[in-house]
Structure 1
Amino acid sequence: MVFYIIGLGLGDEKDISVKGLEIVKKCDEVYLEHYTSILGVQKEKLEELYGRQIIMADREMCEEGIDTILENLSKTPEKNVAFLVVGDPFCATTHSDVQLRAIQLGIKVEIVHNASIINAIGCTGMQVYRFGETISIPFFTEKWRPYSFYEKIKKNREMGLHTLCLLDIKVKERTDENILKGKKIYEPPRFMSCKTAVEQLLEAEEKIAGKAFSKETKCVGVARVGFSDQLIRSGQMSDFLNIEMGPPLHSFVICADELHPIEEDMYKFYNQNSQKKDE
């Protein structure tokens, strides 16, 4: 009886490690966590390579149904279950919670790591060890416009560190009205773009006026990291109001004021590519 939490990496079905693939092939049930991130391929591609039927684990299953899955596993000693996670298992607190729940039920848990946006962001040329606290930027609404990320960015930049901004993903979300009425009617999936992130960042700067950054601050936008059509572009923050990054997933880097010479060269390289594509 083992509960495996397996990282799939960032791109497609082939990014799973050899170790992870061997484990999946021998598991009785295989779940794919499908709300903290997305892969660039449909689950059928995974099923074809892995040789196993894959059960999609949406937000409700991860937050509410996981207890039933683990309780059933705890009563079946001969059973093995794989829980697949895009990226690395521990880049979302959801998965630490799942691990703890399994352990509390006496289930053996094994982890298989993989690449995540946290380390792959080095593709921007910004040195990974020069990043400060990672922040998340949620979609603003008419009634909810949180600026809690602002002070974290400011602190990072005061220490001469870059900031990785993880952009909001809305998958299988319900409106407040449908939640109150108990209706399981879901909104279409939404994925924040670099453009939307910048609009919200500049709004936060205008409202707080804490001088954490400005329209001229150097930034790097990335899209579909690990996919075959990965895109990296650099420019001043305001440039990203007009830079088209294409389909999701997007992430955004707010650079430190002073760049290492190699970082500066990489910034210029991606900036030149941005200008060429805009011509």
Structure 2
Amino acid sequence: MLTFIGLGLFDEYDVSLKGLEAIREADLVYAEFYTSHLMGTTPEKMEKLYGKQVHLLSREDVEQQPEWLDNAKDKNIAFLTGGDTMVSTTHVDLRLRAKNLGIETRLIHGASITSAVSGLTGLQNYRFGKSASIPYPYESRRGTKVVSETPYDTIKQNSELGLHTLVFLDIDNEKGYMSVNLALELLLEVERKRGEEVMNRAVAVGIARAGSEKPLVKADYAENLKNFDFGKPLHILVVPGKLHFLEAEALVKLAAGPEEIMENIE
């Protein structure tokens, strides 16, 4: 049996009681934290609460050579991830591999950033369009910096439909956790290059440390927000589209947004 368990948003205490019970009943416990990361805890703290050793897996262990998966043929294996399990396509692929090996699987869900964002900002979840991910720039063979324009395109398409965009920020082993500030700078860089005005006067919302006792939520125009200090990771970005009057009020009162936001309502 292979049980996929979502651990929630911030620390070891976010796991559900059902998930905690499954971990404690498992023969072996594995975890990956490259798709997401619980910033409020450590593997040692997790092991203390769970009463189990947690074997950390690399991207290669999960995506390329999941040799550990064979253990689930005759053992009870728990596979832990941040957030909600199966949100990442990597985990869907792993579940399919298990199925192909004749391994029974089950899912125990956890709190997800995709639903937490709506609660923290007051933006209605059914008004979100396609999400986007901003990767770190990379160097081309010519030594020039390459900034992906795909997330900008996604925001532009959603904006034209009046929809909000949830923007995931890159996690890199060497470069670390991308900040809201860098994400906005990259989007505005693409905009200047194209001579367009999607982000120029757009309202954006930055969220830091969702799931903690004191998450930070700040709304402002993108040009202003890029200079705001969001502090420690994890960060995530939202670019709202057209706003319902309740959403606009929420951004002003719950996210310390400028009063002018109230003018951008349907």
The verdict on a shared fold, with TM-score over 0.5 as the criterion, is yes
User: How does 1:232-247 map onto structure 2 within 5 Å?
Assistant: 232-247=217-232
2:80 is matched with 84
2:42 is matched with 42
Distance in 2 between the 1:232 and 1:225 partners? 9
Of 139-148 and 219-228, the range deviating more from structure 2: 139-148
Contact 1:220 1:233 (C-alpha < 8 Å) held by counterparts: yes
Q: CA RMSD, aligned part only?
A: 1.6
Deviation (angstroms), 1:38: 0.7
TM-score (norm 1): 0.86
User: How does 1:1-279 map onto structure 2 within 5 Å?
Assistant: 2-39=1-38, 40-66=40-66, 68-74=67-73, 77=74, 79-122=75-118, 123-143=120-140, 144-171=146-173, 187=174, 190-211=176-197, 213-256=198-241, 258-270=242-254, 272=256
Deviation (angstroms), 1:55: 0.6
Of 98-107 and 141-150, the range deviating more from structure 2: 141-150
Give unmatched runs, 5+ long, in structure 1.
172-186
Distance 1:31 1:106, change over 3 A: same
Contact 2:208 2:236 (C-alpha < 8 Å) held by counterparts: yes
TM-score (norm 2): 0.90
Distance in 2 between the 1:38 and 1:229 partners? 17
Distance 1:87 1:271, change over 3 A: closer
Distance 1:126 1:273, change over 3 A: closer
Distance in 1 between the 2:6 and 2:185 partners? 32
What secondary structure is seen at the aligned counterpart in 1 of 2:64?
A: helix
Distance 1:271 1:54, change over 3 A: closer
What secondary structure is seen at the aligned counterpart in 2 of 1:65?
A: coil
Deviation (angstroms), 1:65: 3.3
Which segments of structure 1 move beyond 6 Å, counting only runs of 4 or more?
none
Contact 1:233 1:274 (C-alpha < 8 Å) held by counterparts: no
What secondary structure is seen at the aligned counterpart in 1 of 2:231?
A: coil
Give unmatched runs, 5+ long, in structure 2.
141-145, 260-266
Distance in 2 between the 1:222 and 1:36 partners? 18
Distance in 2 between the 1:62 and 1:70 partners? 9
Count of matched residue pairs: 252
Deviation (angstroms), 1:145: 1.9
Distance in 2 between the 1:249 and 1:237 partners? 19
Deviations 1:239-258 (A, max 9, x none): 122100001110001111x3
Deviations 1:169-205 (A, max 9, x none): 002xxxxxxxxxxxxxxx3x51110110000000111
Contact 2:217 2:255 (C-alpha < 8 Å) held by counterparts: no
Distance in 1 between the 2:187 and 2:171 partners? 17
Letter in 2 for 1:267: L
